[in-house]
Structure 1
C-alpha cells in the first residue's frame, strides 16, 4: 500500500499502514494474549491459513513481530512481539477502551461496569486462563490479583463513578495480609501507575505485598482487562482474580462495588 505524498511525514498515516487492516489488529491482539503459534492464532481468529500466513509475513516485514524457531522437524515458529510491537500495546488497549465506552457502551465515563455488559463478559471469560508470568507466584497455594485505578489521584469534579477507594482497598488487604500469609496465598496489586509512584505509596502505607506496574499495558492487553481514562492516563477498573497454584484463574470478582466484601470474598475463595 502506498501513501499519498501528503502523508509521507504523517505518523498517523504510517501507523495506519500497520494497524489499518482488521486482521492485522486481531493478530496483534492474540499475540499479546499469548497465542503465539500458528495453529493457536488460526483457531482464535478463525482465519484461513493462507490469509493468516500473509498477515504474519506482513507484520514480520513491518518489524512488529519476529519469528522464533521452536521446532526443527518439521520447522515451526512462534510469532512474538518486537520492541516496536510491544510499543503498540497501549494503542490496542486504548482502542479497546474506546470500543467498550462508545461502541459497546453508552458513552458514560465510569470506573465500574454493568453486570450484563461486554466488559463483565470478558472478565468472566478469564476463568481457565493462565495469568501472565509477572503475576504468578511460584510455590504459592493460590494467588489473588487485584487491579485498581490508582492511589493518591485527584479524580476531579464530578468524580468518576467507581474510581475512588483505592487507599481503602489496600488498607483492607493489608489488614487481611496475615490470613493470606498463613494460608500460603500470594497477593499482588496491579495498576497503570509508574513503579516509582507505587513504591512511594508502598513505603507510606507499609504495603507488604508486591505492586506491579502495568504502565506499558502488557497485563491489560494479555487479559483484555477493562480500563477507563482518568486523570490523564488509561487506568484499570477495579477487579479481583483468584488463581490456583499454577496461576490459572478460577474465580473473578467484577465489578467490585462493595470493597470490604470483595476483599473478604477473595480470601475465602483463595483458601477454599
Structure 2
C-alpha cells in the first residue's frame, strides 16, 4: 500500500535529501517501538526545522498495514520551494508512506552472520548525528563494496577511525563483562532498538577503534526491523578473517531481550552451543 501521488521534481527531499524517514515494523496493524520512532522523528523535525505532522495523522497509519508482518516506511520532506539551497519562506512539508510485506531472516538470528569492515569512512557532522535523515549516499556506497551473499553487513568507521555502525544496523559488543556500543555524537543513526536496549541495560556508549572487537566476547548487529543478529565471523575489507566467535548463552541473552521488544521468537539454545562464549 502507498499513499500520495508521485513526488514533484522540485521536492527538496528528492533534490537535496532535505528530510527524514522512519522504517517501522508493524504486526497485524500494530507498530512496534512506535513511541520511540515518533520521538526520533520529532527530534529530526526540530533539528531540521521541519513541521512535524500531526500525531493523529501519524498514529492512524500502522492500522492501514492490515494483517500480517510488514514494514511501514514514512518519508517526510520539507516540500517544494526555495531557490537552490535557500529554504522556502513558507514551507509545506510533504509526508509519504508505504507498507510492504516483510519476512525476517531467522537463519541469521540462530546461525549468526558474517560481516566485513568497509573501506568507506563516514564524514563527521555532529549537527546531524543520530538523525535518520535522507542523506544516505555514504551508506549506499559502502553497501556497494561487496556482492557476496554470505556477507550480511559491513561495519563503518568515521573519518578519524572510530567505529560507528553497520550500513543499516547498529553495532553492539560485550567486552570484559560490559555491554558497549559506539557513541553517535559525530555521525551515524541512533536506532530505536539501540536506544531501547541502552536504556534497559545501561549499555555504555564508547569511542573505539575497530580493534576493540578483537577483544570482544560477543558481537551483535541489530535494528528495529531485522531484530538482533549475532556475529560469528568478521572479515577485513580484503576478505581476510579477522575474528570468529562461537555462538552461546551470552549471545542469546541480549537477543532474547531485543526480540521481546519486537515480538520475535527467542532461541532456547542448541546442544551444540557453548554455555560460555569463547573466541575461536
Q: Fold conserved (TM > 0.5)?
A: no
Larger RCO, structures 1/2 (Cα 8 Å, 6+ apart): 1
More strand by share: 2
TM-score normalised according to structure 1 size? 0.30
TM-score normalised according to structure 2 size? 0.30
More helix by share: 1
